[in-house]
Amino acid sequence: MSESSVPKQPKINRAVIDIGTNSTRMLIFRKDKKGQLFRVNKSVRYTRMGQGVNKTKRLHPDAIKRNIEALEEYKSIAEDYEVKEMFIFGTSALRDAENSSEFIDMALQKLGMKVEIISGEKEAEYGFMGVSQCFDEGLLIFDIGGGSTELIYGKGRDLMKMKSLNIGSVRSTEAFIENDPPEAEELNQLNQNAAEALEKALADYEGYKPYKLIGIGGTATTVSTIKQKLKIYDSEQVHQSIVTKAELETIIQNLSSKTIDERRQIVGLEAKRADIIIAGTSILDNILTVTGKDSFVVCDYDNLEGAAYSRFFANEK
C-alpha cells in the first residue's frame, strides 16, 4: 500500500473542565501528527464556586446555579466541537464544602456530566505535567488559585515535591478585606498571613536551588496582561513572559489604591477578577520575597493541559 493510500487518522477532540474556586475553565484539544497536545479551544467563565465557602463550609445556592449554567454552556460548546470524551474535575472549593455532593449530583442528573473532586496533590501534579511540556530545567512552579496555592518542584518530566496551601485569592479576600479600597491594616494582615504560610512551606524547597520560578493560573497570567496592557488575552504574548518583582510591586501599589470599580477599568485586568486580584498579587509578591527571586516566568500551560496529558495521553502509545 502506498503512503498516499494510507487512511488518515480521524481528528478526535476531547475536553477537560476545571471547576475552580473563582473560575470554571474548559480546554478542548486533540493529538497532532506527532502525538502532542494541540489546543483547539480554551474558555473561561468566572463562576465563583468558592463564594462564602471559607466562612460557611458550604456551597452557596447562587454558586451552584452559576456553575451548573457554565457546565451547561460548556456541554453545548463541546457538542459543537464533536468532543468524544470529557474529564471534569473540581478543586479547592469543592474539596472544602460540606455539601459538594449537591452540586455533583445535580451536574450528573441534570446534564449527565460526571464531576470528580481531586486532591491538592493531584491538582499540583496536573500543574506540573502542563508546565513540564515547556521547560526541561529545575522548576519551582506556583499556582495561586481562588482557594489554594500549589507549590511544585520538578525537573524534566520528574515531579519531586508538591504542597497545597490553604491560601488563595478568594479565600484571602473574604478573610481579610472588607473595605473598598482596602485599609492599610487589612493589607498588612493579608501580607502577614501569606508570608507566614509561605515561609514555612518554601523552607522545604531550599535544597532544590537553583531553579526557575514559574507562575501558572489566573493571578500570574493577569499580572502579565496588566503589565503588557493587553485588552484581549493573547496566549502567545503571555506564555513565557517575564514579570519582575519591581514591576509586580508597582502593579500592587496601583491596585491597592483603587476601588473595585476603578480596578475594573484597568487595561489587562478581567473585570470579574477585580475584587480578588489584590489578595492574589499579595501571595505572589510573598512567593518572590521568600524565594529571593527578582522575577518569575509566566506559563500558559497549566493543570488543564496537565489533566489532558494525564487522563488521555499517559496510557496511550
Length of the chain: 317
Are residues 148 and 203 located together in one domain of the fold? yes
pLDDT tens column, 206-237: 999 999 999 999 999 999 999 999 999 999 99
Domain end: 93, 118, 143, which one?
118
Are residues 153 and 99 located together in one domain of the fold? no
pLDDT tens column, 36-86: 999 999 999 999 999 999 999 999 999 999 999 999 999 999 999 999 999
pLDDT tens column, 92-111: 999 999 999 999 999 999 99
Residue 132 lies in a domain: yes
Domain end: 62, 85, 118, which one?
118
The residues near 134 (Cβ < 8 Å, ≥ 6 apart) are: 239, 240, 299, 301
Are residues 213 and 261 located together in one domain of the fold? yes
Residue 317 lies in a domain: no
CATH code of the domain in which 170 resides: 3.30.420.150
Residue 312 lies in a domain: no
Are residues 88 and 180 located together in one domain of the fold? no
**What range does the domain containing 35 cover?**
3-118
Are residues 114 and 225 located together in one domain of the fold? no
Are residues 149 and 278 located together in one domain of the fold? yes
Residue 49 lies in a domain: yes
Residue 313 lies in a domain: no
Domain end: 76, 95, 118, which one?
118
Number of domains the chain contains: 2
Residue 316 lies in a domain: no
Provide the grid cell at 96: 472544602
CATH code of the domain in which 14 resides: 3.30.420.40
Residue 39 lies in a domain: yes
Q: What pLDDT score does 33 carry?
A: 87
* pTM, rounded to two decimals: 0.91
Residue 314 lies in a domain: no
